[in-house]
Every structure is written in C-alpha cells, then in structure tokens.
Chains A and B, each alone.
Chain A
Amino acid sequence: GAGVSQSPSNKVTEKGKDVELRCDPISGHTALYWYRQSLGQGLEFLIYFQGNSAPDKSGLPSDRFSAERTGGSVSTLTIQRTQQEDSAVYLCASSLHYGYTFGSGTRLTVV
C-alpha cells in the first residue's frame, strides 16, 4: 500500500482480556518496528523485525507482550491479560533503509 496501515484505529478492552493489533507495512520494506506512546510522552521502542533475522524483542515490557511477522509482511502485536497501564497508542513503522514511515497507530484503552 501507499502507507503503513494499522488496525483497529481504536480498541477498548476490559482488563484481563487479550488484544491483537495489526500492522500492514509498506510493500517492500524489510524492517518493521512497534513503538508505544503513552499520553503526552515520547515513543518507547517495543520490538524490531528485519527480514528473516530473529526479532529484537528487548523493548517488550513484559512476557504478556508478543509479536510476530508473517511472510515478512504483516505483523501482529498481541497483549495478553491486558492491564490498565497498557493503555497507550501503539505505533508501527516500516523502513527499507533509514526512511521510517509510521502508521497512525492503534489507541488502546483498557477499562
């Protein structure tokens, strides 16, 4: 596609439920990133995928968070047993070299 597409744009979930957030990167971009942005804050790195290499998961805040990237394209970020502190905007970006392009994010609200 022309840009990075994320879905859903908004998600409200009950505490304890699992959620899946989807990212569809720009076609041909080999690198894919997930960031989290809490209200009024900067972006916090979560996970990085590059081609067929093992992902860098060093930013995932707990083992409730996981992500996968299928076929080197679409990525899904899964949060299990959601907590209120997980409420944030989850942003995905893709790049070929240094030209990062961000999606509009998924606003997750845990109630």
Chain B
Amino acid sequence: GESVGLHLPTLSVQEGDNSIINCAYSNSASDYFIWYKQESGKGPQFIIDIRSNMDKRQGQRVTVLLNKTVKHLSLQIAATQPGDSAVYFCAEIGGSNDYKLSFGAGTTVTVRA
C-alpha cells in the first residue's frame, strides 16, 4: 500500500556535525512533503516543507531535498546542536489522500556533546 517511511530508526550525531535524515515514500502522486520535529512530551513541530515541483528548499540550518525519480526525501541539519535531539518525521500529502498527512515511523536523533 501507499506509505511513507524512514530508512533508519536512530541516528547519533556529534555536536557541530551535519545530520542527514532520510525518508522513502511510495505514493508517486504525493505533491507536498513536510518534515516535523517532535520533542518528548510535545506535539510534532513543523520544520520545513517542499512541493513536488521543487527538488530543494532551504531554511534556517535545514535543507530538504526531494528526488521524485526514486521517491526519496531527506532532511539535512547543519551544525547539529543539542537542541536538535528529537524524533523527526517525514509526512506526505496528495494524490488520493489530498488532505490527510501520512507519516513514517520517525528517526530518533541524538546529539552527542
């Protein structure tokens, strides 16, 4: 079935290094993608989004890359900080689910001091 998923459940990163979190999706009709950050005891917080007519979008310390050919999405975090420790989810919308976000299981990022 259609789903969104992440390649790795956990990622350990040295403070100051760059982080790359990957996500694969299977719905080729998806036209909008969002990365969320979820800290313990909180709801998901919007980080950055990208539409299917783009392949790259940059924010503050974050970059999202979209490769529609292989249906792959990635989130790059520059100069990772302790406050970046959280669970990161990719979500997609579009196609038959044109208003429902579909989430993967998440990647837990731990930043080592």
Contact = CB atoms under 8 A, between A and B. Distances in A.
Interface residues of B, number: 21
Given A42-B89, A50-B99, A100 B34 contact: yes
B89 A100 contact: no
B104 A42 contact: yes
- Of the four ranges (under 10, 10 to 19, 20 to 34, 35 or more), the interface on chain A belongs to 20 to 34
B32 A98 contact: yes
Interface in B26-73: 32, 34, 36, 41-46, 49
Interface string A54-91: 00100100000000000000000000000000000001
Nearest to B99: A48
Contacts of B105: 40-42
Contacts of A48: 99-100
A102 B41 CA distance: 12
Nearest to B41: A104
A26 interface: no
Given A98-B93, A100-B34, A45 B43 contact: no
9 contacts: A31-B99, A40-B105, A41-B105, A93-B101, A98-B32, A101-B46, A103-B43, A104-B42, A104-B43
Interface of A: 4, 31, 33, 35, 40-43, 45, 48, 50, 56, 59, 91, 93, 98-105
Given A4-B43, A42-B105, A100-B101, 8 more contacts: A43-B103, A45-B100, A93-B101, A98-B32, A98-B49, A102-B45, A104-B42, A104-B43
